[in-house]
Amino acid sequence: MQRRSRGIHAGLILLLSQIFHVGISNIPPVTLATLALNIWLFLNPLKPLFESCLSVEKCYQQKDWQRLLLSPLHHADDWHLYFNMASMLWKGINLERRLGSRWFAYIIVTFSVLTGVVYLFLEFALAESMGEPGFRRNCAVGFSGVLFALKVLNNHYCPGGFANVLGFPVPNRFACWAELVAIHFISPGTSFAGHLAGILVGLMYTHGPLKKIMEKCAGISSSSMHYPGQQYPFNSSGYSRYQDDYPYGRPGYSEDVPRNYDAYTAGLSEEEQLERALRASLWDRGASGPSPQPYGFRLSPEEEMRRQRLRRFDHQ
């Protein structure tokens, strides 16, 4: 799980470009702080990946509980960071404007810890039920478990419409499950249990007791919860790698929400942007010499034709 050393972090450059095109002033504060923290820790990791990744063996058996906090904030490489934070950018803009900054920050912290706990439980259950101790050593790192939980929330608040999963329209309420299977199928190196843990945490919030427990811990009631602001639904693939009541928290704050991102996305949806970035990742790594394609992706003839169309688009 060693981070690939490279002179130029193309994924990081692409992420920064996307953030600046959106405009820092247009990104809600908790979302912006989450992006900044993950970027900072990618450039200045607190610990090596093997000492920050989450596993039953390291966290539970060796009592290294700090990994619950470290693992979501560390990433294997710059493209891992890009996929996670590009997804966080769009989910954060949508959900933080709806829920308010204070509650959204509470959700991020709670989901980060709870997703890790559920992940440990799933891996422990697999190891015990299948008699395979290797599951105890599976070590996960990255923010994508939290992103899957946020995806559940986003689909809960914006239930209509469809998400594009591998080119197929999927109803939003089933999109998380479709993406869970699709990502694991096309990228075997990802953590199925990590992504599933995120979905389960999201469902615990939207359909289980988690939201009421959080409200009780915060000293508020459901009747006093008010989520202001207009909804700005969007489609989000939520792809990221998981590897081996007031807007902005105070009354009287108002800001014009950017409604048209086509000026810098060229009309591409978030899924298409991420797919395009993935193509760039494949080309970037392929240029450095023969090596297996990252994340288990293989380009089919249909994808190759689509890549040619993207190339033509780039030269327009």
Choose the catalytic residue: 9, 74, 80, 195.
195
Instruction: State the pairing for strand pair 168-171/162-165.
Output: antiparallel
Active site residue 144: yes
- 113 burial (CB, 10 Å; 0-12 / 13-18 / 19+) is middle
Tokens 């470009």 sit at which residue? Answer: 17
199 dihedral zone (left: phi>0; alpha: psi -120 to 50; beta): alpha
Choose the catalytic residue: 101, 112, 144, 236.
144
210/201 Cα distance (integer angstroms)? 8
257 dihedral zone (left: phi>0; alpha: psi -120 to 50; beta): beta
Active site residue 195: yes
Residue 128, CB-side half-sphere exposure with 13 Å CA sphere: 8
Instruction: List, by residue number, the catalytic residues.
Output: 144, 195
